[in-house]
A = this chain, B = another copy of it.
Amino acid sequence: MSTSKDKNASYHHGDLRNALIEAGLHQLTEAGIEGLSLRKIARDVGVSHNAPYMHFKDKEGLLAAMALEGFTLLYDATNGFASNEDMSWHAQFSAVAHAYVDFALTHPAHMQVMFRDYDSNIYPDTSQSAERAFDLLRDVMAEGQQAGLIEAGNSAKQAALIWSLLHGLAMIIAADKMPDSVIAEGESRQLIQLFIDQVYTGLKVAS
């Protein structure tokens, strides 16, 4: 596993902390965030209903740990396309954008857990894992600037714009709130491409 410290492997359980996170993520995809139960997770792992409290302060603590894993998955899903020498900048940009929305739409429950309002003082690691995923997009924008393809400026704010666009699109689709006139069932790819093309070109009439 890539999860930092595995000092307490082969204790009573072995590595209960990670087992709980994994079982939690599994239940998350099965039952969604509403159907997520601490006791059920414990049951799945085969420990008593109070064992999780050795490793997490409360349910929120486990959720924060699961969110961290979620951001790692998101990072992995997008990382392959950024800074890929074999792809043009436009291709990289487009691929990262599609990958983000794809991840969000195929892991809606993960997104719900990831985008809760955790206290970043209490869960700094979770915050950091989110920022790491953001930085990937910021780097893409910075490279676009260096290539002379997009306007020079604050690359973080440019990344924030794209992120907001993609995130909003995914959340609206996931909530089934996008009108049929805009998007047909499961036809998100063309819309994503249209959006990033339009943001690149601008909405205003050509002067």
Q: A residues touching B (Cβ–Cβ < 8 Å)? A: 108, 115-118, 120, 127, 130-131, 134, 144, 148-151, 156-161, 163-169, 171-172, 174-179, 181-183, 191, 194-195, 198-206
Are A204 and B203 interface neighbours, CB within 8 A?
no
How far apart are A121's CB and chain B's nearest CB, in angstroms? Answer: 11
Q: How many protomers of this protein does the assembly include?
A: 2
If the complex has contacts A158-B203, A204-B151, are A116 and B168 also in contact, measured as CB distance less than 8 A?
no
A169 pairs with B164, CB closer than 8 A = yes
Residue contact A164 to B160, C-beta cutoff 8 Å: no
- Chain B residues positioned under 8 Å from A159 (CB to CB): 182
In whole angstroms, what is the CA distance A201 to B131 when docked? 27
CB distance from A39 to the nearest CB of B (A): 17
Query: What separation, in Å, do the CA atoms of A204 and B175 have in the docked complex?
Result: 31
Of the candidates B134, B151, B167, B176, the one whose C-beta lies within 8 Å of that of A171 is B167
Known: A150-B203, A150-B205. 16 other contacts (CB 8 A): A115-B172, A115-B175, A116-B175, A117-B176, A134-B179, A144-B203, A149-B204, A151-B206, A158-B203, A160-B172, A164-B195, A165-B165, A167-B172, A171-B171, A199-B199, A200-B204
